[in-house]
Amino acid sequence: MVLYTLSTMVMKTNDYCKLFIWGFKLYLMAPLMWPTLSFAVKTVSLIIQVSLSIFVSVGLILYLYDHITDFGKATNIMCIIMFILMGIYKLTVLWYKSDELKALFNIILTEFWPYNLINLESKRKVKEMYNLMNVLIWCFFWGGFIYGLLYQIPPLFKTNGLIYPVAYPFDWTASPWYQIVYFTQAFVQSITSLVTTGADFLVLGGLLSITSLYCILQECVEIFNTPEMYVTNKRLREIINDGLENKYTDERREYFVRCVRHHQLILRFTKQFNNAMNPLELYQLFVSIFGLCLGALGVANLELAGTVAEQGINFLYLYGFILQLFIDCFFGTYLYHQASLLPDAIFHSNWRMLEDKELKKDFAFLLQNSQRIPQFNAYNLYDMHMDSFVKVIKVAFSFYTILSKLK
């Protein structure tokens, strides 16, 4: 209930189909990277955050160079560097793709049909998807929150303690350099967590938004040529205001055209969403391999980790990469599943009882066209489904086996 209240405040609507992107909006408003913000604000924010991230990364790389022979320290530093580089990459992609994302969000808010268009099974499904999304948001929030605390609290009880171990060609322990380095690391760690999590919420919210439309469209087709169709069409007239009632004398034809147009909107939106997400998803596949490998090395060598906090960090690091990849692949599979149910819904609708032969032919054409099932992918090279999830886990385990023999 708390998350529902928060999401309605963020999105200023209580339509579940439009609430799927609330987490992404909330997480990206903090680092000033929400797509609707001005280009100047986003650019200045990008330059500042990337510059500070590079400064922190340089210190980590120099520290890694000094301790390259220490397997435990080297593994830990590589995990941190990968985490920061992931934040830099995702931040840059979100800035570069901000215009495309802005257009996509505008479609969600203005053209998507409401979740309660039909008070049948689709309404329940959309609510369940929304609740599932909030569960995952809680998982990310608490995982990221604890991950940040485990890094930021221990240095407070040490003299000249830092969040990340670094090496610089100057005496960073002297004032004011120590304070500058400490607060820079705290800022970068917090912003990186927000940006990486926000990008995951973007994928999660986008996929669930598309999936919810397929659930609604399935029922809209199933009630064709029934009394419920006329009630639903009346609501669509009020929502869309496209003037089709003046163009067609047969209300069934009018309703059919609206369904076809919305199906085309879903296909077009899915293609645009894929194009916007391509850089993130291809990167996610490759970085997950190395992230899972390094995380597994840290977990498997807890005796080298040191403190309980460092051991907890290794677990959360591995947990975060698994959850990121799982979201992309599981909900990519779920989208494909719901889209594949549309042809079946069309086939079992009441269209065969029509006397209008032309409308029958149009329904047959829609049935054929609905078999173009969209797939969430990365540049059409890799489909984001559970098969890809298993493959990435296998490859990561292979790298882990090789590296574990080098220690």
Q: How confident is the model over 332-365, as pLDDT tens digits? A: 899 999 999 998 988 888 877 777 788 888 888 8
Angle between helical axes of 2-11 and 22-29 (0-180°, round to 10): 70
Residue 188 has pLDDT above 90, yes or no: yes
Computed from CA positions of residues 162, 164, 167, 169, in that sequence, does the dihedral angle turn out positive or negative? negative
Q: At what angle do helices 71-96 and 308-340 cross, to 10 degrees?
A: 40
pTM: 0.88
Expressed as residue numbers, the domain containing 6 is: 2-404
In angstroms, the CA 405 to CA 293 distance is 13
Number of domains in the chain: 1
Rounded-to-integer distance, Cα 121 and Cα 219, Å: 8
Give the mean model confidence (pLDDT) for residues 370-395: 84
Specify the DSSP class assigned to residue 377.
Answer: E
Q: 22-38: per-residue pLDDT in tens?
A: 877 888 888 888 888 89
The closest of 42, 4, 3, 7 to 21, measured between CA atoms, is 7
Using an 8 Å Cβ cutoff, are 126 and 115 in contact?
yes
According to DSSP, the residues that pair with 378 across neighbouring strands are 382
pLDDT band at 52 (very low <50, low <70, confident <90, very high): very high
Higher pLDDT, residue 246 or 46: 46
d(CA 201, CA 211): 15
pLDDT band at 204 (very low <50, low <70, confident <90, very high): confident
The pair of structure tokens assigned to 305 is 């980790």
pLDDT of 41 higher than 90: yes
- Grouping H, G, I as helix, E, B as strand and the rest as coil, residue 341 is coil
Q: Of the candidates 374, 49, 373, which has an alpha carbon nearest to the alpha carbon of residue 206?
A: 374
Tokens (6 digits) for 40: 């100047």
pLDDT at 304 (0 to 100): 55
Q: Per-residue pLDDT averaged across 218-244, rounded?
A: 86
Say how far apart CA 148 and CA 245 lie, in whole Å. 56
Predicted local confidence at residue 45, as pLDDT: 92
Q: What percent of the chain has pLDDT over 70?
A: 96
- Compute the distance between CA of residue 143 and CA of residue 148 in angstroms, rounded to an integer: 9
Closest alpha carbon to 298 in 148, 185, 171, 407: 407
